[in-house]
Amino acid sequence: MSQTSDSGESSPASRGRRSRSPRAQEDGGDTAGDRLRQLSINEGEDRDRDHNRMIRIQYRKLISTVQQNREAMLNSKSNKLTEALEEANRLFDGVSRAREAALDAQFLVLASSIGKEKANELQLEMSAFDSAAFAEDLLTFMGINRTEVEETDDPEDIPGGFLPSDAWQTVGQEALKYLRRAPTFHYMMGSFKSEPPVPKQRIERQKKASRGKAERAMPAQLKKMESSHQEATEKEVERVLRILQTHFENDPNTPISFFDLVIDPNSFAHTMENIFHVSFLIKDGLAKIKLDEDGLPIIEPTKPTRGGEEDNRTGARNQVIVTLDQKEWKEIIEIFQITEAMITPLSQTTEDEMETE
């Protein structure tokens, strides 16, 4: 079982108990088997029962002790394994039946497993590796500060120093010198699995105004971009109509100046869009433009009537062509004192105005 004699344990020779059967030494001639049979027939049953029970208890105690102190027994300087074996030897002398012998066998399995482990470690015994010392030296290498004690709530944590946050990087840096690890290639180009549609229009950011309220606006705007252009136009035309109708309902007697409606003093581009959308309303007969006393265009939603034809003809005759360049746009804003857009741009739209998505 063991390979060197430098341990505290005894050599196999002195443990040659396997070759000995109980009391065979004294009796000489009888075989163990004969002896056992004789014993179980001859001895008084009551005395046997108590005796055997005691043996079993002691074996179990021995096995339990050995199991719980396994690590201690592995310590090369320990004699405990030999002592346990000697104890088992002693117990075996009192064994007379298979039942107790089985416990002895169980103990032997345990002892030999420990013995094997010990032998394994004995190989390195000449160059003992003190793992605790290694751990301490590692901590030192990592830059542990032993004067400062780290506050820790964890009872498991071993006190005795503050470990810097780059401790493992320090070890890692050194470790790389001993590992032939291949560097890896990382890239983004070519890693995409599919080709989603890419929005092609620049998002017109409404500067400061949109920042606060734009929580939902940006993704909504992206959505608008992705749906077909025609759909978007239709939706917007409807929205403009509703705005027009709302204003007209609030004050049916005051005509709405066309310029008031379409001009967005903050964005020339948006103004152009508004004109575009309003032209649809007129074309479809949903709104009509008239000229007021001053010759300036006013707009109102058409009332739905049965006799459509007449109205259409009327509408067609009253179509006005509006052209506007940036200079004129600015002039109109000044002249008409337009401070805010009636048709709010989408990015500033409130939940109420937005059609449910």
Interface with another protein by CB under 8 A: which residues? 120-121, 123-124, 126-127, 129, 131-139, 141, 154, 156-158, 163, 165, 168-193, 196, 198-203, 205, 207, 214-216, 218-219, 222, 326-327, 330
* DSSP-assigned beta bridge partners for residue 257: 298
Q: How far is the CB of 16 from another protein (least distance, A)?
A: 28
Greatest Cα pair distance, the chain, in angstroms, is 145
Instruction: Give the whole-angstrom CA distance, residue 209 versus residue 186.
Output: 41
Length of the chain (residues) = 357
Q: Which is nearer to another protein, 10 or 78 (CB)?
A: 78
Quickly count: other Cβ atoms within 10 Å of residue 174's Cβ: 11
Q: How far is the CB of 184 from another protein (least distance, A)?
A: 5
Q: Which is nearer to another protein, 200 or 306 (CB)?
A: 200
Q: Which is nearer to another protein, 46 or 157 (CB)?
A: 157
Q: How far is the CB of 264 from another protein (least distance, A)?
A: 14
Q: Which is nearer to another protein, 221 or 257 (CB)?
A: 221
Q: What are phi and psi for residue 51, nearest 5 degrees?
A: -60, -50
Q: Which is nearer to another protein, 219 or 308 (CB)?
A: 219
Q: How far is the CB of 227 from another protein (least distance, A)?
A: 14
Element (H, E) at 289: strand 287-291
Instruction: Give the whole-angstrom CA distance, residue 90 versus residue 17.
Output: 10
Spatial contact of 8 and 77, defined as CB atoms under 8 Å apart: yes
Spatial contact of 179 and 153, defined as CB atoms under 8 Å apart: no
Q: What angle do CA 149, 154, 159 make, to 5 degrees?
A: 30
Q: Which is nearer to another protein, 154 or 294 (CB)?
A: 154
Quickly count: other Cβ atoms within 10 Å of residue 305's Cβ: 9
Spatial contact of 324 and 339, defined as CB atoms under 8 Å apart: no
Q: Which is nearer to another protein, 18 or 192 (CB)?
A: 192
Element (H, E) at 241: helix 229-250
Strands of the sheet containing 256-257, edge to edge, are 256-257, 297-301, 287-291
DSSP notation for 52-98: HHHHHHHHHHHHHHHHHTHHHHHSTT--HHHHHHHHHHHHHHT--SH
Q: How far is the CB of 68 from another protein (least distance, A)?
A: 14
Q: How far is the CB of 356 from another protein (least distance, A)?
A: 17
Q: Which is nearer to another protein, 182 or 335 (CB)?
A: 182
Q: How far is the CB of 270 from another protein (least distance, A)?
A: 14
Q: How far is the CB of 157 from another protein (least distance, A)?
A: 7
Spatial contact of 3 and 123, defined as CB atoms under 8 Å apart: yes
Q: Which is nearer to another protein, 1 or 175 (CB)?
A: 175
DSSP notation for 301-324: EPPP-S-HHHHHHHHHHT------
Q: How far is the CB of 341 from another protein (least distance, A)?
A: 16
